[in-house]
Amino acid sequence: MLEVEDLAVEMFTQDGPVRVVDEVNFTLERGETFGLVGESGSGKTVTSLAVLGMIGPPTGRVVEGSVRLDGRDLRALSPAELQQLRGKEIGMIFQEPRRSLDPAFTVGDQIAETVRAHLGLSRRDAWRKAVEMLELVGIDEPARRAKAYPHEFSGGMAQRVMLAIAVSCSPKVLIADEPTTALDVTVQAQVLDLIRELQDELGLAVLFISHDLGVIAEMCDRVAVMYAGQMVEQAPALELFLQPRHPYTAALLEAIPNAAAGDDRLAAIPGVVPPAHAWPEGCRFHPRCAHATERCGAEAPALAAAPASNGEGGRTARCLRVAELTLEGVA
Amino acid sequence: MARVLARRVLTSIPALLGVMLVALLLLELMPGDPAEIMAGENATPEAVQMIRDDLRLDDPLYERFSRYVGGVVTGDLGESPGSGIPVWDRISEALPVTLSLGGMALVLAVVVAIPAGTWAALRRDGLADRAVAAAAAVLQAVPPFVIGLGLVIFLAVERAWLPANGYVAFADDPYEWFRHLILPATALALSAAAELARQTRGAVVDVLEQDYIRAARAKGLRDRLVIGKHVAKNAATPVVTVLGLQVGRILGGAVVVELIFGMHGFGALALNAVVTRDIVLIQGVVLVSAIAVLIANLLVDLVYVYLNPRSRA
Amino acid sequence: MSRIRGVRDALRSNRTLRRLARNRAAVVSAAFLALLVVVAVLSPVLMPHDPGRQDLLSRLESPSGEHWLGTDSLGRDNFSRLIEGTRVTLWACLQAIALAVAIGIPTGLIAGFVGRKVDTVLSWVADILLSLPPLILALAIVGILGPGLTNAMVAVGVVFAPRFFRVARAAAYSVRNETYVEATRALGCSTSRILFRHVLPNSSGPLLVQLTFALGLVVTAEASLSFLGLGAKPPTATWGSMVRDAFNNVYDTTFPLIAPSLMIVLTILAFSALGDALRDALGRQSRVGD
């Protein structure tokens, strides 16, 4: 349904344009949850904003690639058409829900304005719909709470409001950018449950972005791992976790603190994520890779098919040694 | 809302009393004998004594103070020594002129500055932004009286497009009222506009960087709505604050501008009071100015509460 | 921990000076102001004529070889009056600022450092002064003291004192609980010594910025007051009084307005640019008390 092909994005910095996302490919089907994992600076958020068409001058530009929603080329749309698409066919929620709500207006107003903009409802109908949506996302006393202001909501409640806004026009796709990262652990579970509920009810395709592997494991059907602006691995979630095919994925999995396993040391990945203007030659991960060879520093690997444990296709990895390496996943 | 208003009025009372005290103390701080100075150089001893009696200068300070406060509350600001004309009468006659002048100046400033500042912020670091910043910097450096002089010379003296002085009441002839006010109001408006434009630009730039603006765009709201609704309400706070501060500046600037344009307003009255060393009138002027600034601040506070739901907690 | 750095430290490291030097507007402004000071100091030498000498037969003349900027309403040479005006104006403004600083900074430091009742009272006074439109307050003070340049500058000084009070108070307040202050106290330093030897130098950054901006405003104030006829009395020449004289004769000739007005505007611009540059050069540290 949502097809992203060869997406590349440049950001304009003080030192000139810098490519921050490169060769990103993925598809999202109706009803499925696709996870995008990576550390900060890997390009996940930029990718999602590029899908929405929100990367443009003066911040940056989409250099190449295509984004297709149900066959429609989103890059070919005019700004007005893109504005109609956002919020209506693709909804998005962000990491800091309380900061993503305008403190000067009631939450009811902020849901209603979305609905009025896209569905052309009257003020009264829009307000009624806003109350409905608040009820849908599980906020008590929706009619009263609709007249409240964002600062009166906790983080978890605010994220529910954001979800209400995002799904208010029954979109096809929901992009969730680190939706639970800023929330307490107990609240996280509630919000994740809500996302799944909404997905079932509305048949949404969900693009779930996070750096938290645990959350990804819980929510996603398929996962892509991003590093230094590129996709380094893509696989069904279970397979990715059981048997990763890219050293970076394996390293991420290893770095998850595991009290039960009795390790007394945290396994960190040596080195740091390279900044966008200083990506290494060859494989971008090779300076930090435990399995790197000389060839890895010279040749930049392409995203190629990787062996899948069930014999079927659907797995890719960006590693020259993908056929040779057997990497450990979580047991 | 009414509660906030009441609270603010209450907290301003000490300041107001302080101003009245200062106004009264002005007499005490005069080097020499106030009565003699007010009577003038060629006054007879009887005239001087008459002033001293009229103003009851021999009474103790606290008595004079309480009498003064009592008078203020009933609208009696005293009488100018010598002429005996009630101070409040002179002030109330002069106020409409200055209110028209100041009002038009504020409106002009807002109408020019806020769009300019917003425009500059939307094209941040571009040519428009730098042009507005440069214009604002220059305008702020030019005192209103220089602008007033320039305007009067080029538009009224050298070419008689607009009248060079005088004031016509709105009730008498709206068109002439406007023609007589437009030049002096512009003189006052330009430096206020400069400061306002800068503040607007800064406020809009700050708001544009906020997460909720990105979220509003992500939900597909049209740019016009994002700016006209969300940016506007959130950027308004610092702008309104500056606007309130400009009221005081405009009141001061009015003194000079009214002189240049021959208008008999509050500013001209203040000047007259100083020139004739009419302390009672000066006291009245100081008090009324302080009240004007107070009212402006109160209005700003009220608007602030409306703009910021968080402050209502 | 608040990171206030003093001007002395900044200059010692030369980083501020270098940053200032890179700002073209600041350099030009500083040069212009320096030129004004030179003119003021050398004024007796630079004036071609006696600025007070009247020549009623040559009133309001246009510029000529004899009188480079023409003559005023009493036949006096405008160019010489402009030069003298530079000296008088600069000196008057300096006096006003000195008064403002002398009143504002010590009281501000004490209020911020000692706090409690002293602070309440002093802040109350400052708030009252600040609640009045500046020019009206200046007028009131001139009304009490009587017209004249000195009195006008006293008025201006009093009007500007609260600004310095506020900045000094904020600086002292934020430094009050610093460890080094406790340390010097423990060593037996008296309060005033602490204030002047330690607090003041460390808050000199924002004070200097405030000073520069205030100087520009003081020039405006002097010009306004003299223009109103409350400042310099004839035959003293300041830029403001020259503008007034020119204005009185505006129907005869508009030329004499230009030179003094230009001087006023350029000087204010110069102080503005310098103040902006100083604020940027001193960086985040200059934000204290703003």
Length of chain A: 331
Task: Give tens-digit pLDDT for B20-69.
Answer: 777 777 777 777 777 777 777 777 777 777 777 777 777 777 777 777 77
- Residue C14 is predicted with a pLDDT of 64
Task: Give tens-digit pLDDT for C85-137.
Answer: 898 899 999 999 999 999 998 888 888 877 788 888 888 888 888 888 889 98
Contact assignment for C136 to B26 by CB distance below 8 Å:
no
Angle between helices B87-122 and B266-275 (to 10 degrees): 130
Chain C nearest-CA residue for B252? C135
Q: What is the DSSP string of A210-256?
A: ES-HHHHHHH-SEEEEEETTEEEEEEEHHHHHHS-SSHHHHHHHHHS
- Residue A114 is predicted with a pLDDT of 93
Residue A215 and residue A188 in contact, taking contact as beta carbons nearer than 8 Å: yes
Closest CA to B146 of B197, B113, B97, B190: B190
Look at C30 and B50; give whichever has higher pLDDT: C30
Q: How many CB pairs under 8 A join A and B?
A: 79
Task: Give tens-digit pLDDT for B212-229.
Answer: 999 999 998 988 888 889
- pLDDT band with cut points at 50, 70 and 90 for residue C12: low
- Residue C63 is predicted with a pLDDT of 77
Q: Is A102 helix (H, G, I), strand (E, B) or coil?
A: coil
**Burial of residue A73, with CB atoms counted within 10 A of its CB: 0-12 exposed, 13-18 middle, 19 or more buried:** exposed
- Taking the C-alpha atoms of residue B156 and residue C232, their distance in angstroms, rounded to an integer, is 28
Chain B nearest-CA residue for C146? B277
- Looking at residues A125-131, what average pLDDT do you find? 93
Nearest to B221 among A58, A85, A113 (CB): A113
Task: Give tens-digit pLDDT for A280-289.
Answer: 888 888 888 8
Identify from C28, C144, C220 which residue to disrupt to test chain B contact, counting B C-beta atoms within 10 A and taking the largest count. C144
- Chain B residues with CB under 8 Å of A114 CB are 219-221
Say which range, A210-219, C6-15, C103-112, has the weakest mean pLDDT: C6-15
- Residue B1 is predicted with a pLDDT of 63
Taking every pair of Cα atoms in chain C, the longest distance, rounded to a whole number of angstroms, is 75
Structure tokens at C102: 């002398």
Task: For residue C114, give the amino acid letter.
Answer: V
- pLDDT band with cut points at 50, 70 and 90 for residue C234: confident
Task: For residue A17, give the amino acid letter.
Answer: P
Residues 19-78 of B with CB under 8 A from A: none
- Residue C157 is predicted with a pLDDT of 93
Could you tell me if B124 lies within 8 Å of chain A, comparing CB atoms?
A: yes
Q: How far away is chain B from the Cα of A235, in angstroms, using its nearest Cα?
A: 29
Contact assignment for C139 to B37 by CB distance below 8 Å:
no
- Residue C218 is predicted with a pLDDT of 92
Q: How far away is chain B from the Cα of C173, in angstroms, using its nearest Cα?
A: 23
Chain B nearest-CA residue for A51? B218
- Residue C231 is predicted with a pLDDT of 83
- Looking at residues C4-13, what average pLDDT do you find? 54
Chain A nearest-CA residue for B211? A100
Closest CA to B86 of B96, B97, B72: B72
Contact assignment for C216 to B141 by CB distance below 8 Å:
yes
Chain C nearest-CA residue for B40? C146
Chain B nearest-CA residue for C144? B30
- Looking at residues B264-275, what average pLDDT do you find? 90
Nearest to A99 among B212, B216, B310 (CB): B212
In A166-324 the beta strands, taken as DSSP E runs, fall at 173-177, 205-210, 222-227, 230-236, 304-305, 316-317
Residue with tokens 């040596």: A270
Contact assignment for C140 to B282 by CB distance below 8 Å:
yes
Q: Which of A227-231, C93-97, C191-195 is modeled with the greatest confidence?
A: C93-97
Chain B contact partners (≥3 CB pairs within 8 A): A, C
- Residue A3 is predicted with a pLDDT of 86
Instruction: ipTM value, please give it.
Output: 0.86
- Residue A327 is predicted with a pLDDT of 77
Residues 6+ apart with CB under 8 A from A306: A233, A235, A245, A315, A316, A317, A319, A322
- pLDDT band with cut points at 50, 70 and 90 for residue B128: confident
Look at B166 and A155; give whichever has higher pLDDT: A155
Contact assignment for B157 to C131 by CB distance below 8 Å:
no
Chain A contact partners (≥3 CB pairs within 8 A): B
Closest CA to B240 of B194, B189, B299, B186: B299
Residue C96 and residue C218 in contact, taking contact as beta carbons nearer than 8 Å: yes
Residue A19 and residue A284 in contact, taking contact as beta carbons nearer than 8 Å: no
Q: How far away is chain A from the Cα of B169, in angstroms, using its nearest Cα?
A: 41
List beta partners, residue A173.
Answer: A90, A205
- Taking the C-alpha atoms of residue C264 and residue C215, their distance in angstroms, rounded to an integer, is 12
Closest CA to B15 of B313, B297, B300: B297
- Residue C287 is predicted with a pLDDT of 43
Contact assignment for B221 to A100 by CB distance below 8 Å:
no
- Residue A76 per-residue DSSP state: G
Residue A24 and residue A230 in contact, taking contact as beta carbons nearer than 8 Å: yes
- Residue C191 is predicted with a pLDDT of 66
- Chain C residues with CB under 8 Å of B296 CB are none
- Looking at residues C51-77, what average pLDDT do you find? 77
- Looking at residues C30-58, what average pLDDT do you find? 83
Chain C nearest-CA residue for B254? C135
- Taking the C-alpha atoms of residue C267 and residue C212, their distance in angstroms, rounded to an integer, is 11
Contact assignment for A87 to B124 by CB distance below 8 Å:
no
- Residue C286 is predicted with a pLDDT of 43
Residue with tokens 């204010």: C268
Residue A232 and residue A317 in contact, taking contact as beta carbons nearer than 8 Å: yes
Identify from B22, B37, B149 which residue to disrupt to test chain C contact, counting C C-beta atoms within 10 A and taking the largest count. B149
- Taking the C-alpha atoms of residue A139 and residue C80, their distance in angstroms, rounded to an integer, is 80
Residue B63 and residue B304 in contact, taking contact as beta carbons nearer than 8 Å: no
- Taking the C-alpha atoms of residue C81 and residue B108, their distance in angstroms, rounded to an integer, is 37
Chain B nearest-CA residue for C248? B260
Average pLDDT of chain C is: 81
- pLDDT band with cut points at 50, 70 and 90 for residue B138: confident
Inform me whether the pLDDT recorded for C10 exceeds 60. no
Q: How many CB pairs under 8 A join B and C?
A: 130
Q: Do chains B and A touch (3 or more CB pairs under 8 A)?
A: yes
Inform me whether the pLDDT recorded for A310 exceeds 90. no
- Looking at residues A180-197, what average pLDDT do you find? 89
pLDDT above 90 covers a percentage of chain B that reads: 20
- Looking at residues A262-279, what average pLDDT do you find? 74
Q: What share of chain C is helix, strand, coil (3-state, %, to 5)?
A: 75, 0, 25
Inform me whether the pLDDT recorded for A85 exceeds 50. yes
Contact assignment for C131 to B153 by CB distance below 8 Å:
no
- Chain C residues with CB under 8 Å of B157 CB are 250-251, 254
Q: How far away is chain A from the Cα of B229, in angstroms, using its nearest Cα?
A: 10
Residues 190-229 of B with CB under 8 A from A: 210-212, 214-223, 225, 229
pLDDT above 70 covers a percentage of chain A that reads: 95
Structure tokens at A91: 């909804």
Contact assignment for A94 to B225 by CB distance below 8 Å:
no
Residue B57 and residue B68 in contact, taking contact as beta carbons nearer than 8 Å: no
Contact assignment for B293 to C229 by CB distance below 8 Å:
no
Q: What is the DSSP string of B178-200?
A: HHHHHHHHHHHHHHHHHHHHHHH
Average pLDDT of chain B is: 84
Angle between helices C78-114 and C24-41 (to 10 degrees): 120
Task: Give tens-digit pLDDT for A132-167.
Answer: 999 999 898 999 999 999 999 998 999 999 999 999
Nearest to C133 among B18, B150, B251 (CB): B251
Contact assignment for A100 to B222 by CB distance below 8 Å:
no
- Residue C288 is predicted with a pLDDT of 42
Task: Give tens-digit pLDDT for C147-160.
Answer: 888 889 999 999 99
